[in-house]
Structure 1
Amino acid sequence: MAARYAFTAPLWQWKARRDEWFFVTVPAEISAEIRDIADGMTGGFNSVRVRVRVGDSRWGTSIFPGEGGYALPMKKSVRTAEGILRDALVDIELELDL
């Protein structure tokens, strides 16, 4: 049985780099559950492999632990295809890929 989640969260820009890196934070409750499920099955930087759906876009990526929950990177191609701008609320479907 796969662990699947659906949530809505704002898109934010990571300011630590000059190029444009955008993320959505996985809510704290869901992040805690993912942390428990993925214990011992994480990759570099304690990342967790996931499959994501936003609108008509689907892709595989990793989420990374951070303050307040895992950070989900939002690819430019997805943001463009789905018309998502910084600070917009994004409807996310996420599935663990363990």
Structure 2
Amino acid sequence: MDLAFAGRVIEWRGPSPFYFVPVPEEQSADIQEIASQATYGWGAIPVDARIGNVAFATSLFPKDGRYLLPLKSAVRKPHGLAAGDRVSVEMTVRLNR
């Protein structure tokens, strides 16, 4: 499943700060429809994503009926991304085969 969306970077402060882009409701609903074919446990969904010229593999986390795309420093720093910045994301959900 290939998806494209835009969203704002959010910050979650735990023991360390974490940054995410929330997946919009419509795309989250599409992902939910195939979640059982993709998840490897705890509802995490493996994806390949791209923001600008940075491609990366990660897993979406379910949160309040939607999904969050985590952004590691290696993804944020090349584009100087911070909380509140708007980004465009291209993403492919990896299904278990």
TM-score > 0.5 by shorter chain: yes
Within 5 Å, give how 1:30-69 maps onto structure 2. 30-69=27-66
Aligned residues between the structures: 95
- Tell me the CA shift for residue 40 of structure 1: 4.5
Question: What does residue range 19-98 of structure 1 map to in structure 2 within 5 Å?
Answer: 19-98=16-95
Contact 1:49 1:62 survives alignment (8 Å):
yes
Amino acid across the alignment from 1:12: I
Aligned partners of 1:68, 1:10: CA distance in 2, in Å?
18
Runs of 4+ in 1 over 3 A off after TM superposition: none
Equivalent residue number for residue 3 of structure 2: 5
Q: TM-score, structure 2 length as denominator?
A: 0.91
Unaligned runs of 5+ in 1: none
Q: CA deviation at 1:18?
A: 2.9
Identity of matched residues, %: 35
Which consecutive residues of structure 2, in runs of 5 or more, have no partner in the other structure? none
The CA distance in 2 between the partners of 1:48 and 1:57, in whole Å, is 20
Q: Alpha carbon RMSD of aligned pairs, Å?
A: 1.2
Structure whose residues are more often strand by fraction? 2
Using the TM superposition, give the Cα deviation of residue 7 of structure 1 relative to its aligned residue in structure 2, in angstroms.
0.6
